[in-house]
Amino acid sequence: MNVESFNLDHRTVAAPYVRVADQKTLPHGDVITKFDVRFTQPNEGHLDMTSVHSLEHLFAEHSRNRSGDVIDFSPMGCQTGFYLILQGDPAMDDVLSLIEGTLTDITTATEVPAANEVQCGWGANHSLEGAQGVARDFLAARDEWSTVTR
């Protein structure tokens, strides 16, 4: 299939993990790399939408304080993780450090950025506490992030 994740056997992965999901060289030679940042085990658990929405806002804002290479941080429709898209071909250790640092920042945040009806399409659909709980759980499993399959 054309979509990389549709070719991934979701029964064999072991969340939480971080893996390279795709890499593209654009027409002018720029490289972008997409990472699968999986928070929950597919088909066994999922994140609630207010936590997903808030984590998206928080990670998008805080990660850019740590790296100018962040292009996007988008939730998966299945609510089990996010896609992190970075400019270039970063070393995995650098990506894991970016994720760890950003999630640590999120655990001490005092508000969800742009969680209002002016800056967000559903400003009332947020939970700072939920996003922080998801971040803490992922950080607690830091030693498992590099193991993708069972």
pLDDT of residue 112: 98
pLDDT of residue 52: 98
Task: Measure the CA angle with vertex 84, ends 29 and 81; round to 5°.
Answer: 150
Mean pLDDT of the chain: 97
Summarised one tens digit per residue, pLDDT across range 83-119 is 999 999 999 999 999 999 999 999 999 999 999 999 9
pLDDT of residue 108: 98
pLDDT of residue 150: 84
Supply 107's token pair: 């655990």
pLDDT of residue 79: 98
pLDDT of residue 39: 98
Mean pLDDT of 43-72: 98
Summarised one tens digit per residue, pLDDT across range 59-87 is 999 999 999 999 999 999 999 999 999 99
